[in-house]
Structure 1
Amino acid sequence: MKRYDIAIVGAGIAGASLAAEVAPHASVLLLEAEDRPGYHSTGRSAAFWSETYGGPDIQPLTTASGPLLAAGGFLEPLGSLHIGRTEERSAIDAFLVEFEGSGVELRAVDPRDMLPGLRPEWTLGVYEPTCEYIDVGGLHGAYLAAVRRAGGELAVSANLEGATRANGRWLLDTRTGRFEADILVNAAGAWADPVAAIAGARPLGIQPYRRTMLQLRTDPAPPEHCPHVAHIGGSFYFKPEAGGRLWLSPHDETACDPCDAAPEELDVAITIDRFEHVVDWRVAALEHKWAGLRSFAPDRLPVYGFDPAVQGFFWCAGQGGFGIQTAPAAAKLAAALLLGKPLGAEVAHLDAGRYAPRRF
């Protein structure tokens, strides 16, 4: 039975990014329940880097992550167009007010000037020019590679089945064997509360939600330089992809148990119907459909820090749909808390207490 300083449950973007930050300073084991990392959420993400996504409490993490993502070559220009109908003026105004003074660049536009084929009732628009694509696979792979280079280890098909604290150490039983670690990190995404229960910690009410995604081919194809387009009321978003394809979501959040999520046919039909009420483009083909899980704490903020009641148990969970766009800054913040070090320059301005588990 090999002993590690830190065992991290979950090798999605949360666990992988945190492991990459701490592996140069401690011996690290990543425990992944599936046969490959990032299967449930990270690998099914339509991620984009948008400073407004997740709201003003998430924006500092997103903004701090931007330069780090850019430096790694993981961003490409996209832009985001938030649209609304005339009767949604108050929502547009509230959105602009929400980010006043944040440094996020937003400007009111006529959306019809930016999106050919937009139906006439969509009269209101706010453009967020800094929104960018994220190379999710590249980012996740880079973190896992960094873990390996620093001597960290990954165990797949290693579902956590038992965790016992004794003599200042965790004894961890998994499908692939028993491991020992001084600190146990809960980066289990949708399974964060069940992992907490296994370790004897109080679950925080982290709820998984299913989100539907479709890949479409349209006629006409999305115009050149088409931005990410999102309803200010939160009923859809879509963005162009390679080969003239379009990724489309109804922005659904259906509470569910942790699972291998699959799209429901009714959600697929609703998604296409909503899209057809936005633009006059014909849906030429539905090429692919899938669903992923997004997991939120009750206040919809992520949870980073040591559990106040269970010694040696650390939370890195509740990242919702913004886990990838915030990963670089979140991992640096969480790593500093985990290792007991001061916050680095990139994240020194962040309020770690805002995300601490003791807030519950």
Structure 2
Amino acid sequence: MTLAPYACHPAQSRGRLHAEPGGAARGPRDAFQRDRDRIIHSIAFRRLRHKTQVFLAPDGDHFRVRLTHSLEVAQIGRAIARALGVNEDLTEALCLAHDIGHPPFGHAGEDALEAALAGAGGFDHNAQTLRTLMRLEMPYPHWDGLNLSWETLEGLAKHNGPIYEPGWAMREADAEFPLDLTSHASIEAQIAALADDIAYDNHDIDDGIRAGLLTLDQLMAVPMVAEGWADVQARCGGRAPDRLRSELVRSQIGRMVNDLLDETRRCIAESAVETVEDVRAAGRALVRFSDAMREAERGLKAFMYANLYHHPAQLAAADFARRIVAGVFAAYADDPRLLPEDWRAALPEAEPARSRHIADFIAGMTDRYAVARYRELVGEVALPEGF
């Protein structure tokens, strides 16, 4: 496929932090295809299989976890990239890697690490993604990290927009390999950001109903959902509601993707960008929803926070998760000899590096591994219903 002139072209990449001899290439892959494959083959990516998306360590096999969410984001992102004529491989790499920095138990675990590192600069899962991929993964003999291309690292850093006040971890990444943090990212990175929103906006509806925390009747309070449900019933009337739920989710994803494509094409034409550097200098995101869809999506998000993410059962599970992560951090901080041998050997002597090192270890844990370490280091704990 011929790429649009404002797409990221692998042959024009700004390169990698560590030079790699041409003979090191394995197979007929360009730079962004190799990045995607390095992410897929990483240990950090495999651990997403046992990390929370919405429900903590769910005992049902049909709920989404970070890994399946990332795959769904990649599917949506690839479709958008293809339609816009930009680099599908780079988009896929960004979608697959965007949540790698999440600690166990999702945002509840992040809150606990943020509190634990209050005196050491705090914790941010987006910066932790770069830290993991640039430092903590070590599959190569000559350098730490996966040695991803500049465009992939830039997209992971800035997919949600320019960064004017980076935290310590992002500053370290930027100092090592400057990522132009105050400019906008590529079209591919902007696609990854909204593909993430489209995926969780809709798939969390499916999981919330499956878990019994949401009902279709409740969802009718959301105008966008009520409109979509009326359309599904008109097209597929007579079927049981459970058979129509997936059609509702699919239809909403399609409506959001089509709206994004129409508005993005309009913005690209209006801005007259001709190169990826023009995209970075545009002064605003070019991949976007229409005003009407953006307002509708805000209403859906507000409903989901009020009725699912802040549901009493979810809040109780989040309290449990914060207790687990905080307890494990405190145990290792009090006695670093409890760390595994390889992590103990690399433990810095001084703060704040010492606490950050412990947080690196905990951030990589899966939900179930964190629970097991809590039981080993702190004591028995009663799991909330659903584990």
Alignment TM-score, normalising by the size of structure 2: 0.26
Structure with greater helix share of residues: 2
More strand by share: 1
